[in-house]
A and B are shown apart, each in its own frame.
Chain A
Protein backbone atom coordinates (compact mmCIF):
# COMPACT_ATOMS: atom_id res chain seq x y z
CA UNK A 1 0.00 0.00 0.00
CA UNK A 2 2.74 2.42 0.87
CA UNK A 3 4.51 1.84 -2.39
CA UNK A 4 1.45 2.34 -4.51
CA UNK A 5 0.71 5.67 -2.91
CA UNK A 6 4.30 6.85 -3.54
CA UNK A 7 4.01 6.01 -7.22
CA UNK A 8 0.81 7.97 -7.66
CA UNK A 9 2.28 11.06 -6.09
CA UNK A 10 5.39 10.75 -8.24
CA UNK A 11 3.34 10.56 -11.40
CA UNK A 12 1.36 13.60 -10.43
CA UNK A 13 4.50 15.54 -9.68
CA UNK A 14 5.96 14.58 -13.04
CA UNK A 15 2.87 15.75 -14.89
CA UNK A 16 2.89 19.13 -13.17
CA UNK A 17 6.57 19.46 -13.86
CA UNK A 18 6.09 18.84 -17.55
CA UNK A 19 3.44 21.51 -17.56
CA UNK A 20 5.85 23.97 -16.08
CA UNK A 21 8.73 23.24 -18.49
CA UNK A 22 10.18 20.39 -20.56
CA UNK A 23 13.71 20.82 -19.19
CA UNK A 24 12.62 19.99 -15.66
CA UNK A 25 11.21 16.64 -16.74
CA UNK A 26 14.48 15.70 -18.45
CA UNK A 27 16.69 16.39 -15.40
CA UNK A 28 17.16 13.45 -13.05
CA UNK A 29 16.98 14.45 -9.39
CA UNK A 30 16.18 12.98 -6.01
CA UNK A 31 13.52 15.70 -5.59
CA UNK A 32 11.39 17.58 -8.04
CA UNK A 33 9.63 20.84 -7.72
CA UNK A 34 8.17 22.84 -6.13
CA UNK A 35 5.97 23.63 -9.12
CA UNK A 36 3.83 26.79 -9.20
CA UNK A 37 0.45 26.89 -10.90
CA UNK A 38 -1.00 30.38 -11.35
CA UNK A 39 -4.77 30.62 -10.90
CA UNK A 40 -6.40 33.84 -12.01
CA UNK A 41 -9.95 35.26 -12.13
CA UNK A 42 -11.78 38.54 -12.53
CA UNK A 43 -14.59 40.28 -10.65
CA UNK A 44 -16.09 42.96 -12.83
CA UNK A 45 -17.14 46.23 -11.26
CA UNK A 46 -20.88 46.65 -10.93
CA UNK A 47 -23.45 48.84 -9.28
CA UNK A 48 -27.15 48.26 -8.69
CA UNK A 49 -29.71 50.58 -7.15
CA UNK A 50 -31.53 47.62 -5.66
CA UNK A 51 -35.28 47.44 -5.34
CA UNK A 52 -37.80 50.08 -4.39
CA UNK A 53 -40.01 49.86 -1.35
CA UNK A 54 -43.17 48.00 -2.36
CA UNK A 55 -42.07 48.36 -5.97
CA UNK A 56 -43.98 51.66 -6.16
CA UNK A 57 -42.30 54.14 -8.45
CA UNK A 58 -44.70 57.04 -7.85
CA UNK A 59 -44.82 59.64 -5.10
CA UNK A 60 -48.56 60.38 -5.13
CA UNK A 61 -49.09 63.74 -3.45
CA UNK A 62 -52.85 63.97 -4.07
CA UNK A 63 -54.39 67.44 -4.05
CA UNK A 64 -51.64 70.04 -4.01
CA UNK A 65 -53.51 73.24 -3.21
CA UNK A 66 -55.46 74.72 -0.35
CA UNK A 67 -59.06 74.86 -1.63
CA UNK A 68 -59.67 78.10 0.26
CA UNK A 69 -56.78 80.01 -1.20
CA UNK A 70 -55.76 78.23 -4.41
CA UNK A 71 -52.17 78.38 -3.18
CA UNK A 72 -49.80 75.43 -2.83
CA UNK A 73 -50.21 73.63 0.49
CA UNK A 74 -47.37 74.36 2.88
CA UNK A 75 -47.33 70.92 4.49
CA UNK A 76 -46.57 68.57 1.61
CA UNK A 77 -44.29 65.83 2.96
CA UNK A 78 -44.56 62.51 1.12
CA UNK A 79 -43.32 59.31 2.71
CA UNK A 80 -39.74 58.59 1.66
CA UNK A 81 -38.93 55.75 -0.68
CA UNK A 82 -36.26 53.19 0.14
CA UNK A 83 -33.91 51.59 -2.34
CA UNK A 84 -33.07 48.29 -0.67
CA UNK A 85 -29.95 46.32 -1.54
CA UNK A 86 -28.20 49.10 -3.40
CA UNK A 87 -24.70 47.86 -4.06
CA UNK A 88 -21.45 48.89 -5.70
CA UNK A 89 -18.45 46.56 -5.39
CA UNK A 90 -15.98 49.38 -5.85
CA UNK A 91 -15.68 53.10 -5.24
CA UNK A 92 -18.70 54.87 -6.60
CA UNK A 93 -20.63 58.06 -7.23
CA UNK A 94 -24.28 58.64 -6.45
CA UNK A 95 -26.15 61.19 -8.52
CA UNK A 96 -29.67 62.49 -8.03
CA UNK A 97 -31.55 64.54 -10.59
CA UNK A 98 -35.11 65.85 -10.67
CA UNK A 99 -37.46 67.93 -12.79
CA UNK A 100 -40.15 70.31 -11.49
CA UNK A 101 -43.72 69.12 -11.29
CA UNK A 102 -45.56 70.64 -14.22
CA UNK A 103 -49.19 70.70 -15.34
CA UNK A 104 -49.59 68.04 -18.00
CA UNK A 105 -52.73 69.42 -19.68
CA UNK A 106 -52.30 73.16 -19.17
CA UNK A 107 -49.16 73.53 -21.28
CA UNK A 108 -49.39 77.19 -22.31
CA UNK A 109 -48.02 80.15 -20.42
CA UNK A 110 -50.41 80.79 -17.54
CA UNK A 111 -52.08 84.20 -17.09
CA UNK A 112 -50.62 86.78 -14.75
CA UNK A 113 -50.91 85.71 -11.16
CA UNK A 114 -50.81 82.00 -11.96
CA UNK A 115 -48.17 79.28 -12.25
CA UNK A 116 -48.13 75.80 -13.75
CA UNK A 117 -45.03 74.37 -12.07
CA UNK A 118 -43.86 73.33 -8.62
CA UNK A 119 -40.27 73.11 -7.47
CA UNK A 120 -38.96 70.79 -4.76
CA UNK A 121 -35.82 69.25 -3.32
CA UNK A 122 -34.88 65.61 -3.92
CA UNK A 123 -32.47 64.09 -1.41
CA UNK A 124 -30.79 60.69 -1.65
CA UNK A 125 -29.24 59.77 1.68
CA UNK A 126 -27.58 56.70 3.13
CA UNK A 127 -25.01 56.09 0.43
CA UNK A 128 -22.61 58.86 1.32
CA UNK A 129 -21.97 60.85 4.46
CA UNK A 130 -23.20 63.94 2.66
CA UNK A 131 -26.50 63.19 0.92
CA UNK A 132 -26.91 63.85 -2.77
CA UNK A 133 -29.31 66.79 -3.13
CA UNK A 134 -31.01 68.26 -6.17
CA UNK A 135 -33.08 71.46 -5.97
CA UNK A 136 -35.24 71.82 -9.07
CA UNK A 137 -35.38 75.60 -8.81
CA UNK A 138 -31.61 75.89 -9.09
CA UNK A 139 -29.81 75.97 -12.41
CA UNK A 140 -26.70 74.52 -10.78
CA UNK A 141 -26.74 71.62 -8.32
CA UNK A 142 -23.21 70.96 -7.14
CA UNK A 143 -24.44 68.73 -4.31
CA UNK A 144 -26.22 66.38 -6.68
CA UNK A 145 -23.10 64.20 -7.07
CA UNK A 146 -21.45 62.58 -4.06
CA UNK A 147 -18.51 60.16 -4.09
CA UNK A 148 -17.96 57.12 -1.90
CA UNK A 149 -14.43 55.77 -1.54
CA UNK A 150 -15.30 52.22 -0.50
CA UNK A 151 -17.50 49.44 -1.83
CA UNK A 152 -20.89 49.51 -0.13
CA UNK A 153 -24.18 47.69 0.06
CA UNK A 154 -27.14 49.15 1.89
CA UNK A 155 -30.21 51.33 1.70
CA UNK A 156 -30.70 54.62 -0.09
CA UNK A 157 -33.50 56.81 1.21
CA UNK A 158 -35.08 59.11 -1.36
CA UNK A 159 -36.91 62.07 0.15
CA UNK A 160 -38.83 64.91 -1.49
CA UNK A 161 -39.26 68.16 0.42
CA UNK A 162 -39.49 71.96 0.24
CA UNK A 163 -42.25 72.15 -2.35
CA UNK A 164 -42.71 75.68 -3.63
CA UNK A 165 -44.63 77.29 -6.44
CA UNK A 166 -42.36 78.16 -9.32
CA UNK A 167 -42.17 81.92 -9.66
CA UNK A 168 -43.30 82.75 -6.14
CA UNK A 169 -45.43 81.50 -3.29
CA UNK A 170 -48.05 84.16 -3.97
CA UNK A 171 -48.92 82.68 -7.36
CA UNK A 172 -52.03 80.57 -7.80
CA UNK A 173 -51.69 77.18 -9.44
CA UNK A 174 -53.76 76.56 -12.53
CA UNK A 175 -56.11 73.63 -12.22
CA UNK A 176 -54.87 70.43 -13.82
CA UNK A 177 -55.63 66.75 -13.24
CA UNK A 178 -51.95 65.84 -13.25
CA UNK A 179 -48.88 67.72 -12.15
CA UNK A 180 -45.87 65.47 -12.68
CA UNK A 181 -42.12 65.51 -12.16
CA UNK A 182 -39.36 62.91 -12.47
CA UNK A 183 -36.52 61.92 -10.17
CA UNK A 184 -33.57 59.68 -11.02
CA UNK A 185 -30.98 58.15 -8.73
CA UNK A 186 -27.84 56.82 -10.40
CA UNK A 187 -25.06 54.73 -8.91
CA UNK A 188 -21.91 54.60 -11.00
CA UNK A 189 -18.66 52.80 -10.37
CA UNK A 190 -15.69 55.09 -9.97
CA UNK A 191 -15.43 58.60 -8.64
Chain B
Protein backbone atom coordinates (compact mmCIF):
# COMPACT_ATOMS: atom_id res chain seq x y z
CA UNK B 1 0.00 0.00 0.00
CA UNK B 2 2.81 2.38 0.82
CA UNK B 3 4.46 1.59 -2.53
CA UNK B 4 1.28 2.27 -4.41
CA UNK B 5 0.99 5.70 -2.89
CA UNK B 6 4.57 6.52 -3.79
CA UNK B 7 4.06 5.68 -7.47
CA UNK B 8 0.92 7.80 -7.61
CA UNK B 9 2.80 10.77 -6.22
CA UNK B 10 5.56 10.45 -8.82
CA UNK B 11 3.00 10.30 -11.61
CA UNK B 12 1.35 13.50 -10.44
CA UNK B 13 4.72 15.17 -10.24
CA UNK B 14 5.45 14.41 -13.87
CA UNK B 15 2.08 15.71 -14.92
CA UNK B 16 2.65 19.08 -13.27
CA UNK B 17 6.12 19.38 -14.74
CA UNK B 18 4.69 18.86 -18.21
CA UNK B 19 2.04 21.53 -17.73
CA UNK B 20 4.57 24.10 -16.54
CA UNK B 21 6.63 23.88 -19.75
CA UNK B 22 3.57 24.68 -21.92
CA UNK B 23 4.74 22.41 -24.68
CA UNK B 24 2.80 22.77 -27.90
CA UNK B 25 2.26 20.58 -30.88
CA UNK B 26 2.69 23.63 -33.13
CA UNK B 27 5.19 26.46 -33.00
CA UNK B 28 5.41 29.39 -35.42
CA UNK B 29 8.25 31.86 -35.85
CA UNK B 30 7.56 35.15 -37.64
CA UNK B 31 10.14 37.46 -39.17
CA UNK B 32 9.84 40.52 -41.35
CA UNK B 33 11.76 41.72 -44.38
CA UNK B 34 12.16 45.46 -44.75
CA UNK B 35 13.73 47.81 -47.25
CA UNK B 36 13.45 51.33 -48.54
CA UNK B 37 13.14 53.00 -51.92
CA UNK B 38 14.69 56.45 -51.89
CA UNK B 39 13.35 59.39 -53.86
CA UNK B 40 15.00 59.66 -57.22
CA UNK B 41 14.51 61.60 -60.45
CA UNK B 42 16.27 60.85 -63.69
CA UNK B 43 16.32 63.02 -66.80
CA UNK B 44 16.80 61.07 -69.97
CA UNK B 45 19.80 61.93 -72.11
CA UNK B 46 18.86 64.73 -74.51
CA UNK B 47 18.78 63.89 -78.19
CA UNK B 48 20.24 65.69 -79.97
CA UNK B 49 22.71 66.93 -77.40
CA UNK B 50 23.10 70.34 -79.04
CA UNK B 51 21.39 72.59 -81.57
CA UNK B 52 23.24 74.40 -84.28
CA UNK B 53 21.09 77.08 -85.94
CA UNK B 54 23.69 77.84 -88.56
CA UNK B 55 23.50 81.20 -90.29
CA UNK B 56 20.82 83.16 -88.40
CA UNK B 57 20.81 86.49 -90.28
CA UNK B 58 19.10 87.01 -93.61
CA UNK B 59 21.60 87.62 -96.38
CA UNK B 60 19.25 89.06 -98.96
CA UNK B 61 15.98 90.85 -99.28
CA UNK B 62 14.46 93.50 -97.10
CA UNK B 63 15.65 91.83 -93.89
CA UNK B 64 19.26 91.55 -94.88
CA UNK B 65 21.36 91.58 -91.71
CA UNK B 66 18.38 90.97 -89.50
CA UNK B 67 17.30 87.69 -87.99
CA UNK B 68 16.05 85.30 -90.65
CA UNK B 69 13.30 82.76 -90.28
CA UNK B 70 14.44 80.10 -87.87
CA UNK B 71 12.48 76.90 -87.67
CA UNK B 72 11.35 75.55 -84.34
CA UNK B 73 13.88 73.21 -82.78
CA UNK B 74 13.11 70.08 -80.77
CA UNK B 75 15.10 67.96 -78.37
CA UNK B 76 13.82 64.72 -76.87
CA UNK B 77 14.59 63.52 -73.35
CA UNK B 78 13.28 59.94 -73.22
CA UNK B 79 13.06 57.72 -70.15
CA UNK B 80 12.59 60.58 -67.75
CA UNK B 81 11.06 59.75 -64.37
CA UNK B 82 10.57 60.61 -60.72
CA UNK B 83 9.48 57.82 -58.38
CA UNK B 84 7.65 60.20 -56.04
CA UNK B 85 4.99 62.87 -56.28
CA UNK B 86 5.34 66.62 -55.80
CA UNK B 87 7.87 67.31 -58.52
CA UNK B 88 8.47 70.15 -60.93
CA UNK B 89 10.36 70.99 -64.09
CA UNK B 90 12.54 74.09 -63.91
CA UNK B 91 13.83 75.65 -67.12
CA UNK B 92 16.72 78.08 -67.22
CA UNK B 93 17.27 79.64 -70.63
CA UNK B 94 20.08 81.94 -71.72
CA UNK B 95 19.62 83.90 -74.92
CA UNK B 96 22.02 83.47 -77.80
CA UNK B 97 24.73 86.03 -77.21
CA UNK B 98 27.59 86.98 -79.51
CA UNK B 99 30.60 86.22 -77.33
CA UNK B 100 33.66 87.46 -79.21
CA UNK B 101 33.00 91.19 -79.22
CA UNK B 102 32.65 92.55 -75.71
CA UNK B 103 31.82 96.08 -76.88
CA UNK B 104 28.28 97.42 -76.74
CA UNK B 105 26.84 97.29 -80.23
CA UNK B 106 26.00 100.60 -81.94
CA UNK B 107 22.44 101.79 -82.07
CA UNK B 108 20.35 99.69 -84.48
CA UNK B 109 22.50 96.62 -83.87
CA UNK B 110 22.10 93.72 -81.51
CA UNK B 111 24.34 90.97 -80.21
CA UNK B 112 21.49 88.89 -78.72
CA UNK B 113 18.81 86.54 -80.01
CA UNK B 114 15.96 85.66 -77.71
CA UNK B 115 13.79 82.57 -77.85
CA UNK B 116 11.13 80.63 -75.99
CA UNK B 117 12.05 77.29 -74.41
CA UNK B 118 9.12 75.00 -73.84
CA UNK B 119 9.40 71.69 -71.96
CA UNK B 120 6.35 69.47 -72.38
CA UNK B 121 5.40 66.02 -71.16
CA UNK B 122 5.80 66.26 -67.43
CA UNK B 123 2.47 67.90 -66.69
CA UNK B 124 -0.54 68.75 -68.85
CA UNK B 125 0.68 72.33 -68.94
CA UNK B 126 4.26 72.66 -70.15
CA UNK B 127 7.04 74.53 -68.40
CA UNK B 128 7.90 77.54 -70.51
CA UNK B 129 10.34 80.42 -70.37
CA UNK B 130 11.16 83.24 -72.80
CA UNK B 131 14.47 85.03 -72.66
CA UNK B 132 14.46 88.83 -72.58
CA UNK B 133 18.06 89.75 -73.31
CA UNK B 134 18.79 93.35 -74.28
CA UNK B 135 20.57 94.25 -77.51
CA UNK B 136 23.87 94.53 -75.66
CA UNK B 137 23.50 90.98 -74.35
CA UNK B 138 22.62 91.94 -70.78
CA UNK B 139 19.86 90.22 -68.83
CA UNK B 140 20.36 87.12 -70.91
CA UNK B 141 19.14 84.47 -68.48
CA UNK B 142 15.56 83.78 -67.41
CA UNK B 143 14.22 81.03 -65.15
CA UNK B 144 10.76 79.56 -64.86
CA UNK B 145 9.22 76.62 -63.05
CA UNK B 146 6.44 74.43 -64.39
CA UNK B 147 3.37 73.10 -62.60
CA UNK B 148 3.62 70.46 -59.92
CA UNK B 149 3.33 66.80 -60.85
CA UNK B 150 1.55 65.23 -57.88
CA UNK B 151 2.21 61.59 -58.76
CA UNK B 152 5.25 59.49 -59.59
CA UNK B 153 5.75 59.90 -63.30
CA UNK B 154 7.66 58.22 -66.08
CA UNK B 155 7.59 59.76 -69.53
CA UNK B 156 9.51 61.38 -72.34
CA UNK B 157 10.07 65.12 -72.31
CA UNK B 158 10.27 67.35 -75.34
CA UNK B 159 12.18 70.59 -75.33
CA UNK B 160 11.07 72.94 -78.08
CA UNK B 161 12.75 76.21 -78.96
CA UNK B 162 10.51 78.71 -80.74
CA UNK B 163 9.90 82.40 -81.36
CA UNK B 164 13.47 83.40 -82.16
CA UNK B 165 13.78 87.17 -82.20
CA UNK B 166 16.37 89.92 -81.89
CA UNK B 167 15.79 92.81 -79.45
CA UNK B 168 14.14 95.60 -81.42
CA UNK B 169 14.50 93.47 -84.56
CA UNK B 170 17.94 95.03 -84.85
CA UNK B 171 20.68 94.05 -87.24
CA UNK B 172 22.74 91.30 -85.72
CA UNK B 173 26.42 91.93 -85.23
CA UNK B 174 28.61 89.32 -86.87
CA UNK B 175 30.14 86.59 -84.77
CA UNK B 176 29.45 83.34 -83.06
CA UNK B 177 26.34 83.19 -80.86
CA UNK B 178 25.88 80.81 -77.94
CA UNK B 179 22.88 80.14 -75.79
CA UNK B 180 21.98 77.49 -73.27
CA UNK B 181 18.92 75.72 -71.94
CA UNK B 182 19.14 73.88 -68.63
CA UNK B 183 16.31 71.59 -67.49
CA UNK B 184 16.07 70.48 -63.88
CA UNK B 185 13.63 67.91 -62.53
CA UNK B 186 13.12 67.65 -58.79
CA UNK B 187 10.90 68.50 -55.84
CA UNK B 188 8.80 71.58 -56.37
CA UNK B 189 9.23 74.71 -54.30
CA UNK B 190 6.88 73.44 -51.63
CA UNK B 191 8.86 70.27 -51.00
Contact status A49-B29, CB under 8 Å: yes
CB distance from B125 to the nearest CB of A (A): 18
Contact status B152-A67, CB under 8 Å: no
Contact status B83-A57, CB under 8 Å: no
Whether B116 is near chain A, meaning CB under 8 Å from some CB there, is no
Contact status A61-B34, CB under 8 Å: yes
Chain B residues within an 8 Å CB radius of A127: none
Interface size class of B (residues with CB under 8 A): 35 or more
A150 to B35 alpha-carbon distance, docked (Å): 38
Whether B74 is near chain A, meaning CB under 8 Å from some CB there, is no
Residue in B1, B31, B32, B81 with the greatest tally of chain A CB atoms within 10 Å? B31
B1-39 interface (Cβ within 8 A of A): 1-4, 7, 11, 14-15, 18, 23-39
A179 to B34 alpha-carbon distance, docked (Å): 6
Whether A41 is near chain B, meaning CB under 8 Å from some CB there, is yes
A70 to B38 alpha-carbon distance, docked (Å): 9
Secondary structure of the B contact surface, majority rule: mixed
Whether A182 is near chain B, meaning CB under 8 Å from some CB there, is yes
Which residue of A174, A185, A188 contacts B29 across the interface (Cβ within 8 Å)? Answer: A185
Contact status B26-A176, CB under 8 Å: no
8 residue pairs bridging A and B, Cβ less than 8 Å apart: A57-B31, A60-B35, A110-B152, A111-B154, A114-B152, A174-B152, A184-B28, A186-B27
Told that A44-B25, A58-B31, A65-B37 touch, could you supply 13 new A-B pairs with CB distance under 8 A? A42-B18, A44-B18, A52-B31, A59-B32, A62-B36, A63-B37, A64-B37, A113-B154, A175-B37, A180-B32, A183-B33, A184-B28, A187-B27
Chain B interface (Cβ < 8 Å from any Cβ of A): 1-4, 7, 11, 14-15, 18, 23-40, 42, 81, 83-84, 151-154
